[in-house]
Structure 1
Amino acid sequence: MNYTLTQIPERTVKPRQSGLTMVMDKGLSIRQVEDLLATSANYIDIVKLGWATSFVTPNLSEKLDVYRDAGIPVYFGGTLFEAFVVRNQFEDYQRLLDRYDMKYAEVSDGSIEMPQDVKCEYISKLAKQVTVLSEVGSKDEAKIIPPYKWIQLMQAELQAGAWKVIGEAREGGNVGLFRSSGEVRQGLVEEILTQVPFESIIWEAPQKSQQVWFVKLLGTNVNLGNIAPHEVIPLETIRLGLRGDTFTHFLDNAKQ
């Protein structure tokens, strides 16, 4: 930090297990990645190359190297995993991970129907090869999953070998954990937290109001995902109580 302020909540340090900021890269150029890392590398814990953008991204290997040189792990979006699975190309997907020296992978079923035991089998297989993040929730806004099912899915996928489970919201923050308006399904989140440890969940929260809600509920070291590159530093100020939305939240309560 550039100067000292009292009553700033204590942030975990990298490599973090909680307080993660997962950034959504939807097609940044190498130069844009370099600019992002010049300002925000200290606040980025992991980067997702959104859905299947890696299929059409020029100079993919070189771009991955820029992230790696900064010590920031990258993974392909879960939609790419689903695209391989639905075409019966899972082994090709595994080879793809090796080809690009990927250390992380996302398993999801937001766009295809997949029995839970099959999804858990994929998680178990990939967990022998890479660190797995497993996404729970549908990209279909008409498909409402009851809280007990979210809990059961998250618990099963963690048990199958997932490092973290991701609460689905899409890049717009308007499905899954949220209503179409972007409003948090508060009862759902609170019920999940009665059964699943908060440090095991990454909550996709692309909208500022959603980020503020989770920080106020769970503190500065909540795991948040699908953060836009230009929102990394603004999010960090939300986490630290240095933006109007959380300005008084941490005063006289510096330890979180």
Structure 2
Amino acid sequence: MHYFLKNVPERTQKPRDKGFTMAMDKGLSVRQAEDFLSASQDYVDIVKLGWATSYVTPNLEEKLEVYRNANIPYYFGGTLFEAFIVRNQFDDYRKLLDKYKVPFAEVSDGSIEMDHDEKCGYIQKLKEQVTVLSEVGSKDEEKIIPPYQWIELMQKELDAGAWKVIGEARESGNVGLFRSTGEVRSGLVQEILTKIPYEKIIWEAPQKTQQVYFIKLMGANVNLGNIAPADLIPLETIRLGLRGDTFSHFLDMNK
């Protein structure tokens, strides 16, 4: 930091197990990726190439090299995993991970129907190859999963070998954990936290109000995902109580 301020929350240091920020690359060019990291490298822990954008992104290998050179791990979105699975191409998917030196994989079933034991089987197989993130929740806004089922699914996927589980929200933040308006399903979140440790969950929270909610609920070192590249530094100020939304939340006026 460029100067000293009292009473600023202590942030975990990279490589982080909590306080983790996942940035969403929805098709950045090589130059945009370089510019993004020149400002925000210290605040991003992993980059997700959203859904199946890697299939159509020009100069993919050069962009991935930018992330490798910055020691920023990356992975392809869960929708791409599902696109391979629905076409019976799991072995091809595994070869793709090796080809592009992808250190993480996201196992999800937000767009397809999949038996949960089958999903856990994919987690178990992939964990021998890469670090696995598994996503819980549907991309269908009409499909409401009750809290007890979120907890059961998350726990089984962690037991199968997922490093962390991701709470679904899409890049827009209006399904899964959230209502169509973007409002947090706070009862759902708080019930999940009665059984699943907060450091084992990455909460997709693309909207500022959602980020503020999770930081106020769990502190500066909550894991957040689907953050737009331009929002990395603004998010860090929210984490540190240096933006109006959390300005008083961390401030101890007696010091």
Same amino acid, percent of matched pairs: 75
1:97 paired residue number: 97
Give unmatched runs, 5+ long, in structure 2.
none
2:41 paired residue number: 41
Pairing 1:166-205 to 2, within 5 Å after superposition = 166-205=166-205
> Deviation string for 1:152-176 (max 9, x for gaps)?
0000000000000000000000000
Give unmatched runs, 5+ long, in structure 1.
none
Structure 1: how far apart are the matches of 2:229 and 2:216?
Answer: 22
The structural deviation recorded for 1:253 is: 8.5
Pairing 1:1-256 to 2, within 5 Å after superposition = 1-252=1-252
With over 3 angstroms needed to count, the CA separation of the structure-2 counterparts of 1:61 and 1:252, relative to structure 1, is: same
Given that residues 104 and 131 in structure 1 are in contact (C-alpha distance below 8 angstroms), is that contact kept between their aligned partners in structure 2? yes
Structure 2: how far apart are the matches of 1:82 and 1:13?
Answer: 33
Structure 2: how far apart are the matches of 1:139 and 1:226?
Answer: 14
Greater than 4 Å deviation, 4+ residue runs: none
Structure 2: how far apart are the matches of 1:237 and 1:163?
Answer: 27
Structure 2: how far apart are the matches of 1:38 and 1:103?
Answer: 22
> Deviation string for 1:185-225 (max 9, x for gaps)?
00000000000000000000000000000000000000000
What amino acid does structure 1 have at the position aligned with 2:186? Q
Structure 2: how far apart are the matches of 1:194 and 1:115?
Answer: 26
Structure 2: how far apart are the matches of 1:205 and 1:62?
Answer: 28
Structure 1: how far apart are the matches of 2:14 and 2:46?
Answer: 11
What amino acid does structure 2 have at the position aligned with 1:178? F
Given that residues 9 and 253 in structure 1 are in contact (C-alpha distance below 8 angstroms), is that contact kept between their aligned partners in structure 2? no
Structure 2: how far apart are the matches of 1:159 and 1:244?
Answer: 39
Q: CA RMSD in A?
A: 0.9
TM-score by length of 2: 0.99
Given that residues 137 and 150 in structure 1 are in contact (C-alpha distance below 8 angstroms), is that contact kept between their aligned partners in structure 2? yes
Structure 1: how far apart are the matches of 2:161 and 2:65?
Answer: 27
The structural deviation recorded for 1:252 is: 1.3
Structure 1: how far apart are the matches of 2:105 and 2:54?
Answer: 13
Aligned-partner SS, 2:165: strand
